[in-house]
Amino acid sequence: MVLLKALDGCYGDGPDAIAVDGVTLSREQLLGAAGVVAARIVGAPALAVLARPSVETVIATVGGLLAGVPVVPVPPDAGPKEREHILRDSGAPLLAVAAADRDVEAYGARVLTVDPAERGDAPAEPADGAAFVLYTSGTTGAPKGVVLGRSAVAAGLDALAEAWAWTPEDTLVHGLPLFHVHGLILGVLGPLRTGGRLVHTGRPTPQAYAEAGGSLYFGVPTVWSRVAGDEPSAKALAGARLLVSGSAPLPVTVFERLRALSGHAPVERYGMTETLITLSTRADGERRPGSVGLPLAGVRTRLVAEDGGPVPYDGETLGELQVRGPMLSDGYLGRPDADAESRTADGWFRTGDVAVIGPDGFHRIVGRASVDLIKSGGFRIGAGEVEAALRDHPAVADAAVVGAPDPDLGQVVVAYVIPDGPVTGEQLTAFVAERLSVHKRPRRVVLVEDLPRNAMGKVLKAKLG
């Protein structure tokens, strides 16, 4: 399955088809520089890439795909232990870097310096095989390598192009990390498959987004919160076609402020490293705050109760979300045990996320079953519902809810809240109790200055407490 359709000469080739942090490349220049990388790595079992937001990262990624060598993005801020684990576990003998990083510790791999000025003949892109090995966040142990095949990536991007009406006329703007699905596969390979331009802003600041002049914008909730808080920047996005939010739930207050200032109700979508994107609201459909919409083309979903039985699609009953579709990964690298745990006997992928599905098929993600499903006094409480209620309070900037052990109730609801004005825990508890069932109210509220997050803006709940 050819992934890089926009590099085959059938699309226009402006001098700034790819722009990353102010450095521009035409498609011809990108193909030539990537051809040099491909020639140097052909036959390698994998190519690790120190994935800074740079044209060198894009060149190395394209070079790996052209050579048929699986690309292993390495977070640039990974600590020594994490970087060593990724390099050794993936078996990558080469680490591609920009010239400024040529002295980086590569833990036995050979450092390959990428030069954007070099030019070489690009080989024909292979039709099948693994495209990427992406490492999970490692919140429950050492990161696992997720093997994504070329056909899965192509199916995922094509399904998004259909849902979002993504065409060669679009200019995609984002400033997301290039070592995750969101920033790299959607945010770089998307334009290289659809034929549109890419503007990566280096850092995802409101001002950079406002000045980029794009038609399609990607962001995580932290980015959109900052844009929504900068009125001139948010209003400057009025000329865009679509704003897309993902990687974590978008607070309803941010959704509504973006709509008020820019005129655009954001599209929200859901996916995982192991599945790519499987759910989304559509460019031509309804966009509800807090909802990730409907299954993409080719995707099937179901909700499963703790006893393995079906869950009614009533918009209220919680269940574990399971998915099937052509964009699912090939599994975990060298981890048959993890593969067995993540798949059901009849072939569904266990996402580990708790969700509800309405009678009209719209999906709402409540959170991770491991940390966001709270069992208190015989009730099953979704942390995401309580978090959404807290965020509706005018003196709350953000909130994270967890379950804490309790000898009487099993667990109690504990809320960590970033205040945006004078407020007390008692007031917030009463506020939630007025809007949700009384048993869902926080039994304890902790006011904090910030919440621990990963690079994509997800709250690291294991660090709360």
Would you list the domain boundaries of the chain?
5-188, 377-463
Residue 281: predicted pLDDT: 97
Count Cβ atoms within 10 A of the Cβ of residue 408 and give its class: 0-12 exposed, 13-18 middle, 19 or more buried. Answer: exposed
d(CA 291, CA 250): 9
How much is the pLDDT for 255?
Answer: 94
d(CA 328, CA 394): 40
CA dist 292 and 270 (Å) reads 6
| DSSP code string of 104-154 | ---TTSEEEE--TT---PPPPPPSSSEEEEEE---TTSSPPEEEEEHHHHH
Length of the chain: 465
For residue 373, what pLDDT is reported?
75
Same fold, 5-188 and 377-463: no
DSSP state of 2: -
Position 79 scores a pLDDT of 81
Instruction: Tell me how many helices (H) and strands (E) the chain has.
Output: 13, 25
- Are 164 and 242 within 8 A, CB to CB? yes
Distance (Å, rounded) from C-alpha 269 to C-alpha 219? 11
CA distance from start to end of the chain: 47
pLDDT recorded at residue 368: 76
H or E element at residue 198: strand 197-200
- Of all helices (H) and strands (E), which one includes residue 429? helix 425-435
Burial 195-205 (b: 16+ CB within 10 A, else e): bbbbbbbbebb
The CATH code that applies to domain 377-463 is: 3.30.300.30
Our measurement of the distance from residue 102's CA atom to the centroid of its chain's CA atoms, rounded to an integer in Å, reads 29
Check: CB of residue 212 under 8 Å from CB of residue 199.
yes
Distance (Å, whole) CA 37 – CA 49? 11
Cβ-based neighbours of 425, under 8 Å, separated by 6 or more: 417, 442, 444, 445, 446, 447
pLDDT score for 9? 60
**pLDDT for residue 378:** 65
Cα 153 from Cα 128, distance rounded (Å): 11
Give the integer Cα–Cα distance in Å for 273 and 161. Answer: 19
Q: What is the assigned CATH class of domain 5-188?
A: alpha beta
On whether the CB atoms of residues 367 and 377 are closer than 8 A, the answer is no
Residues 6+ apart with CB under 8 A from 120: 32, 33, 35, 36, 38, 39
Please check whether residue 283 is in contact with residue 217, taking contact to mean a CB–CB distance below 8 angstroms: no
Residue ranges of alpha helices (H) inside 12-120 are 27-41, 55-67, 80-90
DSSP H or E stretch at residue 357: strand 349-357
List the structure tokens of 342.
């993540």
Residue pLDDT tens, the chain, 465 long: 578 887 876 566 677 899 999 999 999 999 999 999 999 999 999 999 999 999 999 999 999 999 999 999 999 988 888 899 999 999 999 999 999 999 999 999 999 999 999 999 988 888 899 999 999 865 456 789 999 999 999 999 999 999 999 999 999 999 999 999 999 999 999 999 999 999 999 999 999 999 999 999 999 888 998 999 999 999 999 999 999 999 878 888 899 999 999 999 999 999 999 999 999 999 999 999 989 999 999 999 999 998 888 999 999 898 999 999 999 999 999 999 999 999 999 999 999 998 999 999 999 998 777 777 787 866 778 788 788 889 989 999 999 998 888 877 778 899 999 999 999 999 999 999 888 878 889 999 999 999 988 776 778 887 886
Name every residue whose Cβ is closer than 8 Å to that of residue 198 and which is 6 or more positions away in sequence.
Answer: 17, 18, 19, 20, 171, 172, 187, 188, 191, 192
